[in-house]
Chain A
C-alpha cells in the first residue's frame, strides 16, 4: 500500500524495524509512567511532608515554666528574661555569612563561631548568641541592616532563689539531649526544649512545662515571609506549691555548714501528714550556675556537692536504731522496762569483746536508762535475746530497706541484712556477733537520712507511717484550677502496744533531758530524741540525731547526719536544735557548735574486725 517505487519486500523489512522502534518507545514511556507512579502515589505522602516542611517556618515562642512556691507562698523558682540572637536560614544559606558574623562579633565583642549540629533540618532557626545584655540588644537593633537574617528574641530563663539550699529539692533544667529526643518526641519535646533534671523540676516536669507558642510562617525559596498563619501565645506552666519552708531550709543548711566537716543532711517531716518541711544536703551546688564553668568545679569537688545526701547517701543508723531494738524487746520479749542489766564497759561473746560507749561501764541500769545513756551492753544482750529474725522483722516494719516513695527521683532504698544475704554475698554464715551489732545499728544495715526521719515520724505518730512528700498542690498559672492536691498517704502501720510507745517516748524524752542529746534541750518545748555515732569503716564516725517535738503532741520529726562528724550528741544535736528553734519560733540562745573537751562522750561503738565491710556509703547495692 505504500512506497510506490519500492517493492514490497523492502517495505516489509522497514516495517519490521519500525515495529521494534514503536516497542522501544512504548517501553521507555512505560518506564517513565512507573517512576511517576512511584513518586506520586507510593512516595507521595513523604514528598508532601517534605514540601510542607520547607514551606512552613514555625517560629517558636518559648513558654515559661511554672513557678515553684514554698509552703509560705514564697517563690523559690521563677523566671527571668534572657535575650538571644537567632539566625533564620534562607535559600541555600543555613548559617550567617562571614561578614555578618564579623559584624556581630564587633558589636558584641565576642568570638562567635556558629556551627550546625547533626540534627539540623532545613528551615530550623540557629541560635547565634545567648545571654545578651539590654545594651547589646540595642546595638544589634541599630545595625540590623548589616545583619541579614539575625533577630533578637526574648526567652524565659529559669531562676532559682536560695538556690544552693534548695538544690536537692528543686533540681534544675537543661536542654533535651539529642539521644533523649527519640523517646521524648512522642511527648511533644523538640530539640532545644528544656526538661527538668533532678528534683521537682524532673518529677513534676509535665506540670511545670508550659505550652510553647509560635507563629507558622509561609516562606518562599528566598526565605522571605509570604503570609502568617494563626499566632499562638505561649502558655506558662502550672505553679507547684511545695511543703517545704524556705526559711527552715536556710536555717538547716546554715547549721550544717557550721559543723565540723560541713558534710551532711537534714530532713524535717511534719509527722501529721508526711509533708517534708525541709530537706537539705550539705555541701550543695548553685542551680543557677549549672551551665557555667562552676559545674566542672562541682564535679571535681571531693565533698560531692552534686550528691543529694538526704535521699541518696546510705549510712549505718548506729545507735538511732536502738529505737527499733527497744520496740522489738518490749513487744517480742515482753520486757519489763525496769529489767536491769549490768554494764561493765565490755561485753564478751565467745572469744570476742565488744566495748560500750562508756569505758568504765554504766553499772546496773534498766531499759529506759540504757536508752538515755545509749548503753551498748544492754542492747547487745537484747540483740542476743531477740535474734536476727526479729530484728530484721522490726526493721522492715519501719519500712527500712524500701524506698519511702518521696516525689523526687533517684531515691536509694537502703538495706536490711539477713543471714541468707550474708551467705550469698560474703560466703560466710551469720554469726551471733552480727546479731549483736545489728541491735545497735551497725553492720550491713544501711539507711538514708530521709528513712530515719520517716522512722522517727512514725514513732512520734505511734505507728502511723505517712509517705513523705514535697508537693502540696499544683495550680494552673491563673490560680483558677487546682490540678493536683496531695492527700496524705499511709503505708502499713507499725502495730505495737500503747505501753511500748509510752515507754519509748519516756526514754527518748530522757535522752534530751539528761542523756546524750542534752544539748538539744529547749526551755519552752519538750523534745524527744536519740543520738547515734555510726561507725564507718572508711573514716571518722558519722554523727546522727533523730528527734521529734513537742514530745507529748508531736508536730515535726527530723533526722540529721553529719558525715564523718564524730559524736552524734556533740556534732548533730546543735543542728537539730537550730531547726526546732526556727520551726517553733523560739528565740533562745545557746546553740553550741563547738566540741567540748570532754562532754557527754559517746565513744566508738566497736565492731569485730570481720564485720568491717568494704561497702562505702555510695556503693551499696539496692
Chain B
C-alpha cells in the first residue's frame, strides 16, 4: 500500500511536527539573537546573511541526506573513518591558526572547521562498529577497540589543540557504549581514569591560583607538590594501595571474598590516570586551565577569565521575567557581554527575551533532543538506533554544556549552542545530523 506512494506524500504523512516546530523555533530565535548581537557593528546584516547561507545549504543537505539510505554508511565504515582521520590530519598540515588552535581550512571567502564534520562521522563509525560487535561488547578487547576508534580522533584533535571540541566525544562514546550493553564497571573505570587524568591538572591549577590556601594547608601543598615530585607521587600511590588492600583484607575477614584481580585493576587504573594526568597537564594551555577553573570561583580572576562568566550571568539575570526587549538589552548592545553571537548567544536571549523566551528555548531544545531519541526508539535496526542515539546525545551535551556555561554552572569551554550560535560549520554539521536523523526516521518501517 505504501509502495504506491511517492516520497513527498510519505514525508508529509509521517512528519514529526514537534521535532520540526522545535527545530524551526530554535533556528529562528537563534537568528533573531544573532541579528540583535550584530546591531552595534557597521554591517548588522553580514552575520545574519552568512547564517542564512549556511542554513540554506544545510536544508539542501537535509533533503539530500534524508533521501539517502543511512544503512549504506555501514558498508563504507572504514572509508568514512579513514576520510575523517584524513581531514583531521590535513587540517594539521594545511590549516590556519585561529586563537592558537590549528583547526580551520581557509578557503578565502569562507572557512571551515573539519572537526564539526568528523564528530558526526565518528558517531556513524562507532555505531557501525558497535552494531557489528554488540554481542561481544562485554569483552574488554572489544571495548578497547571501540575506545581506540574515539581515541584516534581525540588524539588528532588534541594535536591542534582544540580542547573544547573533544568534550562532546566523551558523553557520546560513553552513552553509545552504555546503550549497546557494555559492563557498568568497565564504563566506571573509564570515567575514573578520565576524571583522574583531567581532574588532577585542574585541581593543581585551582590551588596554584590561591597561594594563601597553599600556605595554610600543608596537606594540600604536599599533594600539589606530588604532581611534579616523583618520590611523593610514589608515596601517595603506595599509601592508596595499602588502604585498598587493607579494605580487601577486612572484607575477607567479613567473609566477603573479593578476587585479587579487582583491587589490582582498580589500582592500575588510578596509576594510569595519574600518569596520564602528567601528559594532559603538559598539553593544557594556561588560558584553558584558567577558563576551566574560573567557573568554580569567577572572583579569582574577575577582570580576566572570570569576566565572561560574570557578565553573562548579569546579562541573563538582568533580563528578569519578560526581558529588556529584543534589540534593547544593555549588556548585549553596549558590548559588556563577550562572544555574543557565538558561545554566549543564549545570554542574549536571556537578557532581551527574559525568562519567558529563555525557558522556551530550553524547553524546545529538550523537545528536539527527545524527538531525536524517539527516532532512535523507532529505528528499523540497531545501527539506526545507535546513530540516532549518538546524534541526540551530541545535541543534548552541546546544549547542556553551553547553557550550563553561560549560567555559570560549567566552565567556559568555547562550545557553541548548536542550531542557535552563529557559525557556518556548526550550522552545516547540525543540518547534516538532522538529515541523517530524517533518513533513519523515514525508513523506520520494515516495509520500505
Contact = CB atoms under 8 A, between A and B. Distances in A.
A28 to B, nearest CB: 5
B358 A36 contact: yes
Interface stretch (A171-179, A217-225, A287-295, A319-327): A217-225
B319 A40 contact: yes
A55 B311 CA distance: 12
Contacts of B315: 51
Nearest to A53: B314
B138 interface: no
A3 B386 CA distance: 12
Interface string A138-162: 0000000000000000000000000
A39 interface: yes
Contact of B179 (A17, A35, A43): A17
A527 B36 CA distance: 87
Contact of A226 (B314, B334, B373, B381): B334
Contact of B396 (A25, A48, A50): A25
A421 interface: no
A55 B175 contact: no
Contacts of B407: 32, 35-36, 39
Given A4-B446, A21-B175, A44 B336 contact: no
A14 B403 CA distance: 29
B430 to A, nearest CB: 17
B320 A3 contact: no
B106 to A, nearest CB: 29
Contacts of B393: 21
Interface in B354-390: 354-355, 358-359, 362-363, 365-366, 369-370, 373, 376-382, 385, 389
A18 interface: yes
A44 B318 contact: yes
A134 interface: no
A47 B314 CA distance: 5
B373 A39 contact: no
Contacts of B330: 51-52, 55, 218
A55 B379 contact: no
Contact of B319 (A22, A31, A44, A219): A44
Given A17-B178, A33-B359, A51-B318, A3 B380 contact: yes
B303 interface: yes
Nearest to A22: B373
Interface residues of A, number: 44
Q: Counting chain A CB atoms within 10 Å of each CB, which of B334, B335, B369 scores highest?
A: B334
A21 B381 contact: no
B317 A25 contact: no
A338 interface: no
B118 to A, nearest CB: 23
Interface in A51-66: 51-52, 54-55
Contacts of A46: 317
A14 B396 CA distance: 19
Nearest to B393: A21
B194 to A, nearest CB: 18
Give the dominant DSSP class at A's interface.
Answer: helix
Contacts of A13: 181
A220 B336 CA distance: 7
A48 B40 CA distance: 21
Given A39-B313, A39-B407, A44-B321, A18 B382 contact: no
A92 interface: yes
Nearest to B444: A2
Nearest to A15: B377
A220 B338 CA distance: 12
Contact of A32 (B314, B376, B404): B404
B308 to A, nearest CB: 12
A622 B382 CA distance: 95
Interface string A497-524: 0000000000000000000000000000
Interface string B300-340: 00010001000001111111110000000011001110000
Contact of A5 (B363, B370, B381): B381
B400 interface: yes
A402 B432 CA distance: 92
A341 to B, nearest CB: 83
Contacts of A218: 330, 334
A2 B385 CA distance: 10
A17 to B, nearest CB: 5
A37 interface: yes
Interface string A229-261: 000000000000000000000000000000000
B409 interface: yes
Contacts of B363: 33
Given A25-B370, A218-B334, A43 B317 contact: yes
Contacts of B175: 21
Given A4-B381, A40-B320, A47-B318, A35 B336 contact: no
Contact of A2 (B313, B362, B377, B389): B377
A50 B314 contact: yes
A22 B370 contact: yes
B350 interface: yes
A50 B318 CA distance: 8
B403 A222 contact: no
A6 B382 contact: yes
A26 B366 contact: yes
B360 to A, nearest CB: 11
A45 B355 CA distance: 13
Contacts of B181: 13-14, 17
B381 A222 contact: no
Nearest to A222: B335
Contact of B366 (A1, A21, A25, A222): A25
A40 B354 contact: yes
Interface string A528-555: 0000000000000000000000000000
A28 B171 CA distance: 13
Contacts of B351: 51
A14 B385 contact: yes
Contacts of A48: 317-318, 320
A54 B363 CA distance: 31
Contacts of A26: 366, 370
Given A26-B366, A36-B358, A48-B317, A21 B373 contact: yes
A609 interface: no
Contacts of B381: 2-6
Given A17-B178, A22-B373, A221 B316 contact: no
Contact of B320 (A14, A22, A41, A50): A41
Given A22-B370, A25-B369, A48-B318, A40 B377 contact: no
A26 B331 CA distance: 31
Nearest to A46: B317
A29 interface: yes
A172 B130 CA distance: 85
Nearest to B329: A51
B303 A18 contact: no
A40 B321 contact: yes
A14 B179 contact: yes
Contact of A29 (B307, B313, B362, B409): B362
Interface of A: 1-6, 13-15, 17-18, 21-22, 25-26, 28-29, 31-33, 35-37, 39-41, 43-48, 50-52, 54-55, 92, 218-222, 226
22 contacts: A4-B380, A4-B446, A5-B381, A14-B181, A25-B370, A28-B400, A29-B362, A33-B359, A33-B362, A36-B350, A36-B358, A39-B317, A40-B358, A44-B320, A47-B313, A47-B318, A47-B320, A51-B315, A54-B336, A55-B334, A220-B334, A221-B336
A-B interface, 9 closest residue pairs, ranked by CB to CB distance from nearest: A47-B317, A44-B320, A51-B318, A221-B335, A220-B334, A40-B355, A29-B366, A48-B318, A47-B318
